[in-house]
């Protein structure tokens, strides 16, 4: 199972600031395919600031 713990912000990959995660389910098999880091308020603020 894959785990993605980073985001693409300001032209580069940056690690998630915290480690809450969500399991991603494969709709064809209904089995877990991996998990992803959930963005925190700080992650979103960094992405918005970079987009301006």
Give Cα 27 to chain centroid, integer Å.
19
Write down the pLDDT at residue 13: 95
- Domain-wise residue ranges, the chain: 2-51
The model's confidence at residue 49, banded by pLDDT at 50, 70 and 90, is very high
pLDDT of the residue at 22: 94
- Copy the structure tokens of residue 33: 């395919």
Q: What is the pLDDT of residues 8-47, one digit of tens each?
A: 999 999 998 877 899 999 999 999 999 999 988 999 999 9
Q: Cα(46)–Cα(10) distance, rounded to whole angstroms? A: 9
User: CA 52, CA 33: separation in Å to the nearest integer?
Assistant: 34
Q: Give the residue from 35, 39, 3 showing the smallest Cα distance to 18.
A: 39
Residues pairing with 34 in the sheet: 2, 24
- Residue 20: its pLDDT value, please? 83
């Amino acid at each position: 199972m894959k785990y993605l713990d980073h985001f693409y912000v300001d032209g580069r990959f940056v690690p998630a600031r915290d480690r809450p995660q969500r399991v991603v389910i494969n709709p064809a098999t209904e089995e877990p395919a991996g998990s992803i880091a959930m963005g925190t308020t700080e992650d979103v603020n960094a992405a918005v600031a970079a987009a301006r």
